Amino acid sequence: MDFKKIIGDLMASLTVLTAGAGTASMAGVGVEDMPKSLKEKR
């Protein structure tokens, strides 16, 4: 049971880290794309 709990915690932490990295990468891409769109509008 302890091993299952440890594995579950590791999987949960990995999913949280991957989700955080995904949102961070999406935000980074959005920030990089914003200046281009602003330049095109101007």
| pLDDT for 4 | 92
Q: Where are the domains of the chain?
A: 3-40
| pLDDT for 39 | 62
**Average pLDDT, 10 consecutive residues per value, the chain (42 residues):** 88 79 68 63 58
Task: Report the C-alpha gap between 14 and 7 in whole angstroms.
Answer: 10
Task: Report the C-alpha gap between 32 and 34 in whole angstroms.
Answer: 6
